[in-house]
Every structure is written in C-alpha cells, then in structure tokens.
Amino acid sequence: MNEESTVETGPFLSGVIEGFYGRPWTLEQRSVLFQRMASWRLNTYLYGPKDDLHHRASWRRLYSSEDLAVLRESVVQCQANGIRFVYAIGPGLDITYSSEEDLEALRQRLKQLREIGVADFALLFDDIPDSMLECDRAQFGSFAAAQARICNTLYADFVQEIPEAVFLVCPTPYCSRMDQEGLGGENYLDDLGASLHPSIYLFWTGPGIISREISEGHLAALKRRLKRAPLIWDNYHANDYDLRRLYTGPIDGRPAKATEHLTGIMINPNCEFEANFVPVYTLGRYVNLGDAYSANQAFAEGLTLWQSEFETVGEAWSRDELTLFASIYYLPFSMGDSASSMMEDIKVLIQREPTDWGDAEGRFHFWRARIQSISVKLTELKHRELFYTFNRQWWEIREEFELLARFIEHKKVNGGRTVLARSPEHLCGTYRGGTIHQLQSLLSMNEDGQFFESNHE
C-alpha cells in the first residue's frame, strides 16, 4: 500500500488541507510542510484557508499580480517536492447558480491559477446557507442539481483533458449529522452523487464534523449513496472551533486499510503550524502502513523526530517531559497515557479525604515538578515560533497546577475542608474572567453533551 494506489476516481490522495478559519500559514511554514510531506510519503496539499479573502468573501475578484506571485511560490515548492497542489475556492456564500456571470467569474479564477501551474482544483460548498434563490430554484429545482452543474462544467473546462489532474468537491452536508438534519434539502447526497461526473472526488468528515471514529460500515453505506468512495477531510486535529486547545496526538479511529475504503484522506489540522508535526507524521504512517499501523507506535516515533525541534539555550528536554507535554494536548476526545495518569492522581486528591490519598499526593508533587520544569524549558526554546505556539496554553496549565497545589495543601492542613481562602494570584475579575468566561459559565454540559442552567449567580 502506498500513495500510488488508485481507486475508481483516480490516485489515492493523502496529505494536508490548509482549510481552517484563522491566519493562513506563511510561505516559510508551507515550505517546511512540503519537505516533511515528501519525506513522509504524503502526496497532496490543498490551499483553501477560509480567511483568505480570495477564497470565500471575494471569490469573484482575481488575484493581483503581487498576490499571485506569492501563491505561485507555494505552487513551485509543491512541485519541487513532488506534492500535488490543489487550489480550492468557496463561492457558496453568495453565488447565483443560474448566473452565467458567476460561472464565468469562476472560470476566470481557475484560468488565472492555471497560468501559474495549478492543474488541480477544489470547489467547496461547506458552511453556507442552504436556502436557494428563486431564480436558481426555478432553473435547477434543488441545491444538488445546481451545484452539480457548476462542478461538472468546471471539471470539463479545466480538468477532464489532463489525465493526471483531479477535481475535488465538498458538499453542503459533509457529515452524517448534517445529512440527518436535512441540510441541503431532501436526498441531497444521493442526487449529488448521481449527478456529478464519476471522476470527481467528494469530501466527507465522517459521522460528525470532528469524528472520533470512521468505521468501514459507515463508509460502505456512504459509498452506495455517493456512487464513489469518499475523500476524508479529517478535522480530528482541527482547533479553529476552540482556540484554547491544541492537538498533538496521532491519527486514530480510521479504517485499517484506507485505500480499500477511501479515495484519500487529508487532515485539516491545528491553525498553529508548529503543533502539527506529530499529526502529519502519523498520517503518513497510517496511509503507508495499512493494517500494520499502530497509533501508539506512530505517536512514539513522531515524538522521537519532533524532539529535535525542542533544542534550548539551557537544559535539554527529556523524553518523558516531551511525552507528558504532547499527552496533555493529544486529541479532542482523549488525553495521552501520561496525562491520563496525572489527571487520575489529581482527581483522587480533590475528591477523596486526605486519609485516603495513598501515593497520589507524592505523585502529584512529581507531576507538579515536571510541569514547572517544562515551563522553564519552553521559554528557552531556540525555535521561537514553537514557543509562541504553546506558551499561552501552557501558562494556563502551570497556573492551574499552582492553584491545585494550594488547594490540596489547604485541604490536607485543614482536615479535608474544601473551601480555599482567597489566592493573591487568582483574583475575581482577573482569573477566569472576561465576557467569554461569563457566557460559558451560564450553561453547564453533562457527560451526555446536554446543556442545563448553571447553579450559581
């Protein structure tokens, strides 16, 4: 199994989507990414940052010569590393599907990109309203028919005559939850799959926007509806929906043999480029090892390679420190093993009486010392962008640990009392403050994901 494997629609695509909401990556960061992708046998990069004005808000406007020259640099670097560069455009916010002028605007944009060497394109209809203009409804009758006409036309104009080129589409409902809610209209996915040219790839994120698991059965049922195997747009490591989180864990919970069930898998990862080393590395291992892939082993291997980025002006990071560091961030639905062990010890101290703490107190002081050591070494990193990526989040972790230490000591000295006197470092109005915290404190979430009114003023 490798990136040369093919399925009905063409080559198996594996790689990275720059498709998040937030500041796009720099040319220098993309250059590093392409070199890593080539080394880890990934073959495709999709350019589609949501906050590039040309991608969505100003999709009708052509690039200036200056902006086009910058984009061309990424195209050239991709080609130099043997990486397929896919240019994505998202016109769905305000396109009139029946307008020849809008269709021509898309043609002109793709033509402009073709002139700088882009052969592969993607048309994204994600995160848009699903109400149709009356003129569009009168001509097409449904979203699926309207979008299929645009996609098939552009595919024929720009891709069909180039044997090695690919054309990708993101549907309006791009996960099962959206489909079940009826986004896009009745029978949207079935109609779109039946109407699109059979060589067009269709993106899918799984049962949800962020999917903990994507099973073979789920994909088999979807393939029947789409008339093709899906291309996974994997948001497992995306953090643009919660910028207080970063994800440094491995690809996991995906089918053992990707090339048997998919036309490709591409990750849309953390907005912060430097957090993506291990996720991208493990994607390469997943794609190329098939059912021999082990998430835990790939995570360990990725940390071994990543450790070279953590050179400091002071004392070196230990492997155990880096493992705890990455385990704390890890994945949206779980912590890594080291962080899980640490959390269990803290829960013992918080939830039980001091006489029932056992060895947990001693381990807590061990964890606290390690957190403090990492805090110092993080500030001493030579790779300053790596430091800036994690510094604010790690500052919060360190602050919480110090508050926990104060609380645990108070509980021990005062016979288990759980009301802690004021902390000079954690004052009302400054600690856990601001409008966001006040809004979030109004509703609480239980383990089933249900919201209810919080029990405080």
Q: CB burial class (10 A; 0-12, 13-18, 19+) of residue 170?
A: buried
Alpha-carbon distance 266 to 233, whole Å? 5
Separation of CA 344 from chain center: 28
Which structure tokens are listed for 155? 């595919």
* Sequence-distant (≥ 6) Cβ neighbours of residue 235 within 8 angstroms: 205, 209, 210, 211, 267, 268
Q: Give the single-character DSSP code of 161.
A: T
- Contact of 20 with 271, CB cutoff 8 Å: yes
- Residue 264: which H helix or E strand, with range? strand 264-267
Residues taking part in catalysis: 127
- Contact of 306 with 278, CB cutoff 8 Å: yes
Q: Give the single-character DSSP code of 97.
A: T
Closest to 189 (Cα-Cα) out of 197, 302, 240, 178: 178
**The residue to which tokens 């250059």 are assigned:** 31
What are the C-alpha distances in Å from 196 to residues 111, 147, 156, 176, 191?
21, 9, 11, 20, 9
Q: Indicate the length of the chain as a whole number.
A: 457
- Apex CA 409: angle with CA 430 and CA 373, to 5°? 70
Which structure tokens are listed for 38? 């080539």
Q: DSSP H helical segments within 295-359, as ranges?
A: 295-306, 319-329, 337-351
Show the 3-state SS of 191-202.
Answer: HHHHHCCCCCEE
> Strand, coil or helix: what is 45?
strand
- Contact of 196 with 202, CB cutoff 8 Å: yes
Alpha-carbon distance 226 to 9, whole Å? 12
Instruction: Give me the sign of the Cα torsion angle 297, 301, 304, 310.
Output: negative
Closest to 288 (Cα-Cα) out of 126, 280, 359: 280
Backbone angles phi, psi at 124, to 5 degrees: -110, 125
